[in-house]
Amino acid sequence: MEDVLTISPAMSADRNTNITHIIKSMSKRLLGFIKKRVASPEDAEDILQDVFYQFAGSTEPINQASSWLFKVATNKITDSYRKKKLPLADDIFTPASTEEDSFDWKEILLQTDTNPETEYLRNIFWDELQLALNELPAEQRDVFIEHEMNGVSFKEIEAATGVSVATLISRKRYAVLHLRERLQILKDELLNY
């Protein structure tokens, strides 16, 4: 059953005990969840710390603490991808057409000036990219994230995993094809809206 936590400033000792109990009971499970979705154990630990910091600092009542923690963790994971550099845009995005009504993700994502529309489109892109990455087999997702988002060379990945460079390149290629297809679907939906 889900843990229920109501935070009340008047019950400081009880509040701290309850928070400590939930953190201890959820740490391992939540860290495992995060590790499956990020590139490195250090990133996972940073995200876990951010989640628990937000949890402990919350002044609003929190019902179903474990659901709340997993939702915040998912949001923090998405935010961490958004903060990282844009994945190799030429690999994921098909070339823009020459038509006036063409839609170019790179143009929207790399703009320095922001407005509500471009910010909205960026959020849609990052959410869709995260969903598409989560659909990939772990081997493909991991090599894509390591190589494109974390800037780790294939040789370094080979040394760390023992998987040959040729296999890593093949896995990344399948990931890129999947991501390109998923983002094309989103692009088509936005153009036909």
3-state SS string over 63-86?
CCHHHHHHHHHHHHHHHHHHHCCC
pLDDT in single tens digits along all 193 residues of the chain: 444 544 444 456 777 788 888 888 888 999 988 888 877 788 888 889 988 888 888 777 788 888 889 888 888 877 776 665 555 555 555 444 444 444 455 555 555 566 777 777 777 878 888 888 899 999 999 998 888 877 788 888 999 999 998 889 889 889 888 888 888 887 777 766 5
Query: What are the structural domain ranges in the chain?
Result: 12-83, 89-191
Is residue 88 classed exposed, middle or buried when 0-12, 13-18 and 19+ CB atoms within 10 A define those classes? Answer: middle
Query: Is-contact 132 183, C-beta < 8 A?
Result: yes
Say which CATH class 89-191 falls into.
mainly alpha
Give the CATH fold of the 12-83 domain: Rna Polymerase Sigma Factor; Chain: A (1.10.1740)
For the whole model, what pTM was predicted? 0.47
Residue of 142, 103, 150 whose CA lies nearest to 125: 103
